[in-house]
Structure 1
């Protein structure tokens, strides 16, 4: 058979074949060039990474010197330039990772044979050339900084000889008090020299100096001369002679302003425990230092709190008018004194400093008002307030290096803003905890079991933090001039109630952005945020007027934290699957109810939180709306918190097999569970050995919860909440030795299985809401030994409540009702001496009248309780009125 081939078609085909070969050759050449360039660049990046490690080490070592050096010193300027180089290295490394991520490169392998692959390689080569050029510039800058430091004497050279001389001067045996002064102009390393001298090994004998001083003072206190020459003794001999001296004596030793934990380890062997009632008094700002002594001694920690506002106001008046003849505060200034001490939040040091400042302003109301309005400016300009700043700064300077950045981050939050301390919160995920920050962070809200919920910075401490943050280019706060091309702040805090939203241009090297009080979020700014700020690691839109997240979200390759809590966003883009470094995804109270399947690609995700609480049906079993997950979500094996998951759409065992793969879970909330799935859920939970909090709700109030088959429950479980019919408590609950909080809702337990809960050793909070159907509830002696909060609500069948003497001994809050058949309050409630608050829900008027102070026959049962409340509801769960016993409004209501 003969085929006729058109000559035009033939030529076209040959041209295409030639072009294809050329494309392949070009691709091979481009690939070869890319491989060589990539190899060289990879080595350069590794070298610059090592350089960054050295810089980090340098900054850690010099940080205390910078903090205490004169603000005009060259050393401080040098450290600032080095820090900026570190920022540049971080940025170029982030950009490098952005375009050379192994996962991203793997996704592109399928394009190798296409023409677009050549374009991709060209773009990659351009980026690599840019990165190489940037690295060269950074190296040049680093070398120039080094040359300048040597040129202008900023380097730590020539310091060894003066250091040794100074150390010898400080450690010599001269008994007479000696003042050693280090004198010199700003920038000649006075502070550095002194610090180096104290770090010198010669000064490591300061413990011996302390022991010698202590021995002399002991002898002097008894007007005796030392029996031997203590100056010539070493540490072991000093400890021995000190123990011999104290053998038969009752003594008291005072150590002021102790900062180091190992202080006690050095001196404890010298201070003999001879059972004579000896005391050691120590002041410190560090709770860790105070509690370190517990390893070998009985310790009492007296936590000194700020003054109450009334007492602080009295202190302010006394200080402000100390030079007046009558020493009285004029009536017109009383209100201002109260506002000023509120600003100081009762901190005596701050109150005295501001009082000293006011003492120079007389009784001029205008000056007092101006001070109140511009206290922030005064903090930097006044010698009085600067003294407070200096004292507070010292606490910041003494923090470990890694915690300084954590504390500085708190400066992003507006003044008096409550900062959440929950597991996935802004503060806790950066390691800022009250103990570690030595009381620089104030607790503002504590929950029912004693856990800290919210904290905040003391106003004056916040001023110090904000000042330091700006100095270090750590935070840029808006509304300020964000159009500044020189802005290099790593963290962006945007607080703007006006519609005049700032436009950000120039530098896009910001690592985190957080929004407060935003009334309008322009699309132009959102476009910049998702397209230009590619190095963002944290993005917090909580409460912002945000309605959607664009596909460009996937550009934020380095993102670790994303919150759209309390926004109107309904859907996440599929590009969220590209955020392979994402650790926290907070969707609380947003409109997102279903997650894209690409979420399963987030292998580093630790916190996945999404629920919406229906305020109209808060006491309904379905008041919480959860999220729906696609299959194969078990790939999220790093997940620690999954809250909460809606099971209504799931059937079969595949969901629970995937759930069982999440072995790192610490908090889990399941909603709309069907009866037939209970055993499968228990099997999955058994695999979660780290689980601390568990919440399970059935699909409806009438649906039983079958949760009895769990031979090995999670031993670290602290909080358990079950919503649904149980009839009888699962036996595994009694094995939860670490359980602190238990809530049973709609359980309708009718037997005495509740009694066994009384032996749980650590239970602090126990709440029953329609959880018991028996006629009698008995709390036995020696049960519930640690319980602090007990709530027995909506027990419609309860007729008799029995509280044995010796039960509920530590309960501080007790809530009862609605229990219409419970006519009498047990007499033994008078034995609950720790009870601070007693609340009754919809208590019958006759029963209330029995508790009235004058004519009430049962008042003697409750007269020791400071706060007694009567709550009345129109419908279940909808609070209508609250009255306090002794309030005239209660009598009006009863009448």
Structure 2
């Protein structure tokens, strides 16, 4: 997104003008001129972005602006990289300074040449929109721009999410499908839902009558990029997990024939229902069916597909439910919920509403998207949107309809939200996205603005809610207290996103079949390829590298990070079989986000202190048990997540979460917002619990291995951490008795409290936590039930 790239660059240029200008001798005037020209470009870019698809010359100009912004960003980052290098201590550092002063004369000359060349390009591009009379394009939407109010984001935030709206018109087809499933007709039968039937299938699958009628159940997302082995493994895990059975050993290395045999043996003589969601080719369907026994137990397969040939294949012996458009009454009910939030339709909008619903022709996704778009808009915007839908909706071609709706919804977003929305396309098809991870990535990518009185995490959460409320993102899972836990993007929506990603050069993809990439790649998603392919990629401008489902690494070659990627800001190697910390990471001075989650890394090197811009270090579910003293050099660190869960050996296992030993001096990390889970002592002389009190910005804290003597210090520290939202406390052993009653003033914003271990008594401050939504007290051995203390907590939705 060009506007986002320019905005991020302007912030960086402002910082250089203010703090680093003495280092840019000879080119300070050019730097200020470049900044001023980009300011003028930014003023026009918002409207240019929404008009460029209809104006090829404008589209070229926007691309030129984006490319030159990236080039300036590269120059600034290269300069800061050279400036920030660690050159040792003492004599070595002095000798390096002498060497560098000589070398810097040459580099400064090269830098001046680059800046002058960039200035010439920027001026030429800036004159471009005047030369091509681009101002005339602005008048086409001047009325639209004038109607946008400053409160638009807040007004949209409470709109209904997609899932709630899609329930309109679902009751009758759900009843019919349930009857088909439980009709007691012998043999294996297939029930096909033709059209966009995932929501309908989920309602049927979760129905209590269906759950009770069948002995075994599994929901399988097939998608276009399926492998039969992965589908069968998923099925085995679900079927066995349903009855608390472990999966067979060696399942990861089994071939499809072996996996099919396991499925058949398990389901033999059972009545089962298997949902195959989003089937795109007949080969996938037949391959899965061959693994399922065809007995006399009245078992059923439910498939959802948009391809009629798959739903109606003769060998299926299937009943086909053709997803019908909503009736006019149902369409109005759905539109009423989305566009007016249940309030009466204003008389002056009734005619426009009828026009829109006529064009939508009962397609739920079209109604939901348009209704969410129109919410809180005035009559002028209603008229513009009604006219611009045009023949695409009237043609009743779902893909064309969806793309047109997406274009309207997308163009209506603030430029930061556009980038956040496009970023969803970097996740693989059918991937359930963890919301906390997504927001963290948005932040380090520079998409989340800073707002007074709010953390960037909180702003990011508001962004995500806005995308959900606008029907662009679907909720996958929420916590009991209503917080977003995971989300997903509908397949059709993702296809539309990918087309925009290619157009914007926003991200590139590498796989087994595609390893040749342009050198100017900024973001790279890697899926289903090997480390040998990655190692030789020379991507000098790469800023973000995310790896999903990488093929198994060689035990002798963990150094697979692409060479030359010195400017990386985001590196996510999670879920790979990485055996140890890659040394190439240590030269990535600009790195802000590093995830080694669920890898086999066990030791973090002392040189981690070189990564002075690191904001997130995610070591969850690794083998790391301590971090080095040098981590205290990372003054910008906001999220330090280091914990894993032990294997469950008995039903009564205590202390499953394993934390890490923090180094002395952790209190200097004043920017920390999330710290989990830190051990109370870790063999040090100074009590870690005392140091926690200096971390006043903490929002989430997990502490483990608490002893009786640590509890008082922990309470004193908690009194200082007034922004805390989540607290998890675990004692050293199930017999260790602690007293948390020393807390005189409790964290007023606390929403989640977990205490695992023996308590001397229920803390007096617990009933005072008016914002508390979730509390878990495990192994506390309290003499009386704490339920009486909970009864007056107004927001409590879960207690254990």
The normalised TM-score by structure 1 is: 0.58
Structure 1: which 5+ residue stretches go unaligned? 1-33, 160-188, 205-258, 264-285, 293-298, 317-332, 367-378, 768-895
Per-residue deviation at 1:580?
A: 1.5
Distance 2:592 2:523 in 1: 14
2:99 corresponds to: 119
Q: Deviations over 1:58-101 (max 9, x none)?
A: 433422222xx32x621111111111111111111111222234
- From 154, 165, 169, give the equivalent of 2:132: 154
Q: Give the structure 1 partner of residue 610 of structure 2.
A: 578
1:557 aligns with 2:424: no
2:505 maps to 473
Distance 1:500 1:705, change over 3 A: same
**1:572 and 1:117 mapped to 2: Cα distance?**
29
Tell me by how many angstroms 1:123 deviates: 3.1
Question: What displacement does 1:493 show?
Answer: 0.7
1:436 aligns with 2:416: no
> C-alpha offsets along residues 19-46 of structure 1, whole Å, 9 cap, x if unaligned?
xxxxxxxxxxxxxxx9998422455445
Q: Distance in 2 between matches of 1:499 and 1:650?
A: 38
Pair 1:640-2:673 in alignment: yes
Structure 1: distance between partners of 2:756 and 2:305: 59
**Counterparts of 1:399 and 1:144 in 2: how far apart (Å)?**
29
Q: Secondary structure at the match of 1:436?
A: helix
Deviation at 1:261, TM superposition (A): 7.7
**Secondary structure in 2 matching 1:39:** coil
Aligned counterpart in structure 2 of residue 519 of structure 1, from 539, 542, 551? 551
Does the C-alpha gap of structure 1 residues 42 and 549 become closer, same or farther in structure 2, counting only changes over 3 Å? Answer: farther
Contact 1:718 1:738 (8 Å CA) reproduced: yes
- Shift in alpha-carbon separation, 1:198–1:423, aligned structure 2, 3 A: closer
Query: Which 10-residue stretch deviates more, 676-685 or 504-513?
Result: 504-513
**Structure showing greater relative contact order (alpha-carbon pairs closer than 8 Å, 6 or more residues apart):** 2
Q: What is the alpha-carbon distance in structure 2 between the residues aligned to residue 591 and residue 43 of structure 1?
A: 52
Matches within 5 A, 1:213-228: none
1:402 is matched with 416
- Deviation of residue 340 (structure 1)? 5.7
Is contact 2:772–2:793 with CA below 8 Å preserved after alignment? yes
Q: Deviations over 1:326-371 (max 9, x none)?
A: xxxxxxx986654763499999xxx9xxx999899998999xxxxx
1:144 is displaced (CA, Å) by 4.0
Aligned to 2:378: none
SS of residue paired to 2:734: coil
* Contact residue 693 and residue 718 of structure 2 kept, 8 A: yes
How far residue 593 of structure 1 moved from its aligned partner, in angstroms, is 1.0
The reply on whether 1:100 has 2:94 as its aligned counterpart is no
Q: Which has the larger radius of gyration?
A: 1
In structure 1, distance between residues paired with 2:537 and 2:37? 30
Indicate the residue corresponding to 2:142 in structure 1: 196
Separation in 1 of the partners of 2:737 and 2:410? 55
What CA distance in whole angstroms lies between the structure 2 residues aligned with 1:440 and 1:513? 25
Partner of 2:286: none
**Cα distance, 1:622–1:364 mapped onto 2, change above 3 Å:** closer
Q: Aligned residue pairs: how many? A: 576
Indicate if the aligned counterparts of 2:170 and 2:200 stay in contact, CA closer than 8 A: no
Deviation at 1:127, TM superposition (A): 3.2
The verdict on how the C-alpha distance between 1:657 and 1:41 changes in structure 2, with shifts beyond 3 A counting, is farther
Check if 1:446 corresponds to 2:471. Answer: no
After superposing the two structures, state which structure 1 stretch, 592-601 or 54-63, moved more.
Answer: 54-63
1 CA distance for matches of 2:474 and 2:167? 11
CA pair 693-518 structure 1, distance change in 2 beyond 3 A = same
Q: How does 1:644-655 map to 2 (within 5 A)?
A: 644-650=677-683, 653-655=686-688
Of stretches 555-564 and 47-56 in structure 1, the one that deviates more from structure 2 is 47-56
C-alpha distance in 2 between matches for 1:314 and 1:143? 66
In structure 2, distance between residues paired with 1:134 and 1:525: 38
CA distance in 2, matches of 1:522, 1:49: 47
Alignment partners' CA distance in 1, 2:307 and 2:600:
48
Shift, 1:131, TM fit: 2.6
Question: Take 2:724 and 2:31, find their aligned partners in 1: how far apart are those partners?
Answer: 40
Match of 2:59 among 76, 81, 86: 76
How far residue 411 of structure 1 moved from its aligned partner, in angstroms, is 0.4
> What does residue range 751-830 of structure 1 map to in structure 2 within 5 Å?
751=784, 754-767=787-800
2:776 is matched with 743
Indicate if the aligned counterparts of 2:578 and 2:601 stay in contact, CA closer than 8 A: yes
Mark the CA change 1:313 to 1:636 in structure 2 (over 3 Å): closer, same or farther. Answer: same
Is 1:592 matched up with 2:624? yes
TM-score where L is the length of structure 2: 0.64
- Give ranges in structure 2 of 5+ residues lacking alignment: 1-19, 178-188, 204-277, 279-303, 316-391, 449-459
Contact 1:656 1:681 in 2 (8 A): yes
Residue in structure 2 matched with residue 726 of structure 1 by the alignment: 759
Q: Which residue of 1 aligns with 2:226?
A: none
